[in-house]
Amino acid sequence: MTSLGTALALVTATASGLTAGVFLGFSALVMPALRGRPPAEAVAAMQAVNLVAPRSLLMVPLLLSAAGCLLVGVHALVTRPAGQGLLLSGAAAGLAAFAVTAGYHVPRNDALALLDPAAPGTAAAWARYAAGWTVLNSVRTVLGLVSAVALVGGVLARGPQG
């Protein structure tokens, strides 16, 4: 593995790990706290979070991990380094985490933005949103952690020669 490939894999692993940590915080802390609030308050709070998130520093590791995974995967396919399988697995897991974000969370967050927190059907809509959102958020947390660990493992697999 080249020095560039090593640096790319380690930066990507760090970005994946940081993103997974934020996702873990949401599944373990934020969503349980919101589910303990009245639905109107929970919806209003999550709507506020969803307005801030796309403009926050979270976007740096989120987008960096996705782009990095794509580049690591291509680099591993082209250069066929020791640890190629781990690098490809890490890249795939990171891209899957991003796909869950883009394909599941973003559309649901957009739909939640349209809810009136005080409307009669909001409590039921919030219960459905929170349950599904948290489950798939936990999935993307695990995918991000798998990505980080596999990428580091792929770098370490090259041994002391590299």
Q: pTM (2 decimals)? A: 0.93
Confidence band of 2 (pLDDT split at 50, 70, 90): confident
For residue 92, the one-letter residue type is A
Task: Indicate whether 162 pLDDT > 80.
Answer: no
User: Which tens digits make up the pLDDT trace of 57-73?
Assistant: 999 999 999 999 999 99
Task: Indicate whether 160 pLDDT > 70.
Answer: no
Q: Exposure pattern of 110-145 as b/e (b: 16+ CB <10 Å)?
A: eebeebebeeeebeebbeebbeebbebbbbbbbbbb
**Residue 60: partners with Cβ closer than 8 Å, 6 or more residues away:** 15
The predicted pLDDT at position 132 comes to 96
Residue range 33-56: mean pLDDT, rounded: 97
Q: Are 23 and 141 in contact (CB under 8 A)?
A: yes
| Percent of the residues in the chain that have a pLDDT greater than 70, as a whole number | 98
Confidence band of 158 (pLDDT split at 50, 70, 90): confident
